[in-house]
Structure 1
Amino acid sequence: MPETVGNFVSGEWTDSETGETFAVENPADPDDVVARFQQSNAADTERAIEAAAEATDEWAATPAPERGRILNTAAQQLESKKDELTETLVREEGKARPEASGEVQRAIDIFYYYAEKARDLGGDVKASSGSGTTLYTVGEPLGVAGLITPWNYPIAIPAWKLAPALVTGNTVVLKPASLAPTVAKELVEALDDAGLPDGVLNFVTGPGSEVGTAICTHEAVDAVSFTGSGQVGDVVYEQAAEDQKRVQLEMGGKNPTVVSESADVEEAAEIVGSGAFDVTGQACTATSRAIVHESVYDEFVDELVAYAEALSIGPGLEDNDMGPQVSASELDDTMTYIDVGKDEGASLETGGDALESGEYEDGYFVEPTVFSDVSSEMRIAQEEIFGPVVAVIPVSDFEESVAVANDTQYGLSASIVTQDLTEANRFVDEVEAGVVKVNEKTTGLELNVPFGGMKASSSETYREQGDAGLDFYTTTKTVYYNY
């Protein structure tokens, strides 16, 4: 019998007033129910927000090193359960085991990182123009932070929002994605066991139309951090900005890797293939477009096809290279885009089929898919697919490759594979993306540097992770101290 998980409000696990729950299913085998969660409504969410508001003064007055100690203790607890957390993540989201293990470790590392940063929190001392005066700044918490997180990194993204919010003295209401909330619940339990005071962290599950809207519109919420689709992000921004909440949005991507004339083609194919097909392409930073110089184009397509066809597909707990998509609807969306690519005249080089028979009959599996002969105006080169599909676009020179890379509404992550230093440096300067990589895949992030996008990929207000993650959750007070 699967566990039924309550909402976490004021330090207690409670049922929704709706009396309704929803099931979280294993995408490799939907008959395997991981857990059941509360189908909460606006009233449930309001109670969580009020609990967070009541806890703000006490938590803000807690010394930052003590906040860091709680994060550190929670990280230790998560580390002791890493194998269990990894299996849970695979079961509810579908990632291959090594990918899930890496994500769990990422969450642990984030907690440790911000636990240490707690000792460095403070302001700056500046030189005053007058004698007998000390001039300095103080960083203070905003108050209540509403965090709305996605299903594709269901423990790492909640961790990288939670840790800086808590360590800077904010209280939190966390709404995880309904497709994969179980590992986020484990973060809450670890922090509670570590001694986080009641009301500082509250956890509410349910539909965005109820829970998300209540978070974005409630007058007691001071900041909203959202990661998800652009369509939902636009609604979040509109709702939260109405009463001038601080807002942070990270949304979609259509991330390019440029393969230059000088590139090692085999290496380039591995970089693109890993960026496109890891985590089943379900990453906002996944490589969706390979923009390839015509002199190496045919060779590159052959190498990328070979890479895709060598991948093993199946349940993540069985040590396959690529797991299923997270849900039937996500698989349907991917198959729709594959049909669009065919209809637009792109050449399907490999893949393109949903796997539905034999060992695949119960899950949401799709083959890694490569299209060639793609032009930049095609929908498969412009719209985010969020599945293991890559479009290979030929270009005649470096200038055209940058123009094609920038020819999209998105600007999240971009990379170039080249042995030409001039091209590498020009690409860094000219590409329109918040994350730029040279001779690396578009996926994968360091936790101690800012992360965020440009254009429709982000609100372009505040970055996440590193010191930038602390900036979003604090406001500055300037002190003139005449002694």
Structure 2
Amino acid sequence: MTITSDTPTSIDSDLLVDGVQLIGGDWVASSSGQTIDVINPANRTLLAQVPRGNAEDVEAAVQAAEKAFPAWRDLNATARGRLLFRWADLIEENAAALDEIERQEVGRPSWGPLGSPGQLRFIAGQTDKVQGVSLPTYSPDTLGFTLREPFGVVGGIIPWNAPGPMFVTEVGAAIAAGNTIVMKPAEDAPLTPLALAKLALQAGIPAGVINVVTGYGHEAGAAIPAHPRIRRMGFTGSPQTGALVMAACAKNLMPLHLELGGKSPQVVLDDAALDAAVPSMVSGITLNTGQICAAGSRVIVHRSIHAELVDRLAAQMQTVTVGPWHQPVNMGPLINEKQHQRVLSYIELGKEAGAEIVTGGVVPVGEAYGNGFFVQPTLFDKVDPGMRIAQEEIFGPVLSVIVVDDEQEAIEVANSTEYGLVASVWTQDVGRAVRMSRALQAGQVAVNNALGAGVIGGPFGGYKNSGFGRTMGADSVLDWTQIKTVSMRGAASQAR
């Protein structure tokens, strides 16, 4: 592993205004006047301040969304789609600035071209594909059909690990269906969502259609699903918080979708092409410093190739460069002190349980890294499937290797956690690939490629405690609608 660093610059962008949130098209402070510091995780310097919103701010946002809803609902779908396409164009035009904002607040290095414009264009293309169906009737003078209609004012809560893509995915589908929305980004990374909301206004999306309330989860976040006039929720985050959001929605009989955690298995069978598998597995656990719900954190390997695979993984991990956002590195810091301590505590738990660290496992040494939340990418061998590091989501660059003796045992181990978000299989046998794809309990299965890669418009979501509902696919806009059945008879017709 290579460590690199130097002094980063503070955030400075025309897309941001310090200390304000978006409510009804206006950039306003919180009702309390309080703010939250947004910190660069590479050095703990202040990037910006955002309002510490609360239930009063959420109420103002709901009122603004209610005011905007009738006109937005009644705007024809093709016109709504055109505005979303224009938003996507502006995101692409400002891609460098948006990428720089997100890299600083999340701490990640550059990932190359933004995927958000393409994802938003895919959603925009579904806007005028929202269709009902005709229904059979008992008599020829009756017409039966269904309408798909928006819920009205809806809410969304997203985490800090990929704020730009998640904001676009959640907001895009919701407003494409004709809803207006109140969004709460994570307090650690709210800047990219605010910048994207500003571009949405510039694209011509009317004031009040998108509202962004910043603040802490237990204040502004909790107020959204608890609000009686919000009619549908989307939440991405931990299973623990997801359960609280679901309980709040239940009190108002509000539908929702939940995209929660993962403990994704990467099954490596004895005929796997290791030259392709090893780089993919290492990048999968070090991308965004392992802070991705889909990260492949468990390697389940056939005993016959176990030793070779561990040696290759260790060698590949040692080539991973680590440093701040503005350096050409592979991996940045963790998001904050809490997450830093969490990852380090899991590394200690692994050692105490008898797992063996092959490489990594410590904080990088050096004065330049004293303030940053850095950790070395870590590889554990001799991991038992029941160990906590093999069962619980660490959300860091920690990879556990588990040995199995056959295909059936690999399936049992892969399915042995409470999660079911993503799984990967490495084999050159098509029959094995088919069997594994069917047997693995996961919302997405990748065969011989990176987790979830290579598919346009693939529905994304989980099994078991990884949540329910799907985003990103062709049905994502439909999921933000409710169905009305209409039975219609001409005025002159009489009952017979």
State if a TM-score over 0.5 links the two structures.
Answer: yes
Whole-Å separation in 2 of the counterparts to 1:200 and 1:278: 33
Aligned to 1:58, what secondary structure does the other structure show?
helix
Query: Which residue number in structure 1 is paired with residue 375 of structure 2?
Result: 366
Query: Which residue number in structure 1 is paired with residue 346 of structure 2?
Result: 337
Q: How far off its partner does 1:326 sit?
A: 1.1
Query: Which residue number in structure 2 is paired with residue 273 of structure 1?
Result: 282
Aligned to 2:163, what secondary structure does the other structure show?
coil
Deviations 1:92-126 (A, max 9, x none): 1011112xx44xx2221122122222232222234
Q: Does structure 1 conserve the Cα–Cα contact (< 8 Å) formed by 2:236 and 2:259? A: yes
Whole-Å separation in 2 of the counterparts to 1:77 and 1:350: 43
What is the percent sequence identity of the aligned residues? 37
Where do 1:71-90 residues align within 5 Å? Answer: 71-90=84-103
1:118 to 113, 127, 148: 127
Q: How far off its partner does 1:468 sit?
A: 2.4
List alignment gaps of at least 5 residues for structure 1. Answer: none
* Cα 1:341–1:443 shift into 2, 3 Å: farther
List alignment gaps of at least 5 residues for structure 2. Answer: 1-9, 12-16, 491-496
Where do 1:369-388 residues align within 5 Å? Answer: 369-388=378-397
Query: Which residue number in structure 2 is paired with residue 221 of structure 1?
Result: 230
- Letter of the 1:257 partner, please give it: Q
1:65 to 78, 92, 101: 78
Aligned to 1:393, what secondary structure does the other structure show?
strand
Q: Does structure 1 conserve the Cα–Cα contact (< 8 Å) formed by 2:123 and 2:474? A: no
Query: Which residue number in structure 2 is paired with residue 9 of structure 1?
Result: 23
Whole-Å separation in 2 of the counterparts to 1:217 and 1:406: 34
User: In the alignment, is residue 237 of structure 1 matched against residue 246 of structure 2?
Assistant: yes
Where do 1:14-93 residues align within 5 Å? Answer: 14-31=28-45, 33-93=46-106
2:479 to 451, 472, 478: 472
Whole-Å separation in 2 of the counterparts to 1:258 and 1:47: 49
2:178 to 160, 169, 173: 169
Deviations 1:152-174 (A, max 9, x none): 01100111010110011001001
CA RMSD in angstroms comes to: 1.5
Deviates more, 1:111-120 or 1:80-89: 111-120
- Letter of the 1:119 partner, please give it: D
Whole-Å separation in 2 of the counterparts to 1:444 and 1:421: 19
Q: Does structure 1 conserve the Cα–Cα contact (< 8 Å) formed by 2:236 and 2:260? A: yes
Deviations 1:157-201 (A, max 9, x none): 111010110011001001001111111011110111112222211
Q: How far off its partner does 1:348 sit?
A: 0.3
2:108 to 83, 95, 99: 95
Deviations 1:281-300 (A, max 9, x none): 11000011000000000000
Q: Does structure 2 conserve the Cα–Cα contact (< 8 Å) formed by 1:265 and 1:296? A: no
Whole-Å separation in 2 of the counterparts to 1:443 and 1:87: 25
* Cα 1:443–1:409 shift into 2, 3 Å: same
Where do 1:358-437 residues align within 5 Å? Answer: 358-437=367-446
User: In the alignment, is residue 257 of structure 1 matched against residue 266 of structure 2?
Assistant: yes
Deviates more, 1:325-334 or 1:406-415: 325-334
Q: Does structure 1 conserve the Cα–Cα contact (< 8 Å) formed by 2:21 and 2:194? A: no
Aligned to 1:342, what secondary structure does the other structure show?
helix
1:139 to 139, 148, 152: 148
Q: How far off its partner does 1:390 sit?
A: 0.5
Query: Which residue number in structure 1 is paired with residue 494 of structure 2?
Result: none
Query: Which residue number in structure 1 is paired with residue 3 of structure 2?
Result: none
Query: Which residue number in structure 1 is paired with residue 493 of structure 2?
Result: none
Query: Which residue number in structure 1 is paired with residue 4 of structure 2?
Result: none
Return the structure number with greater helix share. 1
* Cα 1:308–1:241 shift into 2, 3 Å: same
Moved over 6 A (4+): none
- Letter of the 2:163 partner, please give it: P
